[in-house]
Chain A
Amino acid sequence: EAQVTQNPRYLITVTGKKLTVTCSQNMNHEYMSWYRQDPGLGLRQIYYSMNVEVTDKGDVPEGYKVSRKEKRNFPLILESPSPNQTSLYFCASSFGAVGGYTFGSGTRLTVV
């Protein structure tokens, strides 16, 4: 089944403890992206990648890191999480520049 897989689905962590949210797609998509969803704000882009080793900042990159060492994987790294990073995170991928995204099921992160 073609899909984007995120792990974990739920995560509660403490301020300052480094964490990684994994994202993997099995569709050989070139484009991948991370978004956070907050009530009333819609989805805001964190980082995106147009190919292996090619990444760029979205609208809200502060406090996040990404890497794209393989085409299928695009992990999101929070080096020192803070409570304002409590949110619902989505990974997405697309075959082309104007293709429709395929989204993962989301990761609900709580930082206390």
Chain B
Amino acid sequence: AQSVAQPEDQVNVAEGNPLTVKCTYSVSGNPYLFWYVQYPNRGLQFLLKYITGDNLVKGSYGFEAEFNKSQTSFHLKKPSALVSDSALYFCAVSSSRDSWGKLQFGAGTQVVVTP
């Protein structure tokens, strides 16, 4: 069975500082990894994905994520956070051995960026 963990309920960071949101996963087969962001009273928006290839993936709004197979992690990063990055972030995983439909989300991490 596949699973995904976001160990931090909330991450607080000052504007201009680096932002990291952690995600670890467990799957059978090759992982397909995704990050989504949810702003208040809105649906989820796709940020980036890792399917294969380069371990460093670049996505929307200046975000990037690094796939680390040995640590089974896929942490989301942004070099310089903005107040507008304050939102709820979700990591999601599926695998090459499962149907696409088995995309599983983590519990989410609330990011708070203070001016």
A50 lies within 8 A of chain B by Cβ: yes
A101–B46 touching, CB < 8 Å? yes
A50–B105 touching, CB < 8 Å? no
B101–A56 touching, CB < 8 Å? yes
- Cross-chain contact of B100 among A35, A44, A97, A105 (Cβ < 8 A): A97
A59–B104 touching, CB < 8 Å? yes
- Cross-chain contact of A42 among B32, B42, B49, B90 (Cβ < 8 A): B90
A41 lies within 8 A of chain B by Cβ: yes
CB closest chain-B residue, reference A99: B49
CA distance A49 to B43 in the complex (A): 20
A46-76 interface mask toward B, CB cutoff 8 Å, 1 = contact, 0 = none? 0011100000101100000000000000000
A102 lies within 8 A of chain B by Cβ: yes
Chain B residues with CB under 8 Å of chain A are: 6, 32, 34, 36, 42-46, 49, 51, 90, 92, 94, 99-108
Chain A residues with CB under 8 Å of chain B are: 4, 31, 33, 35, 40-45, 48-50, 56, 58-59, 90, 92, 94, 97-98, 100-106
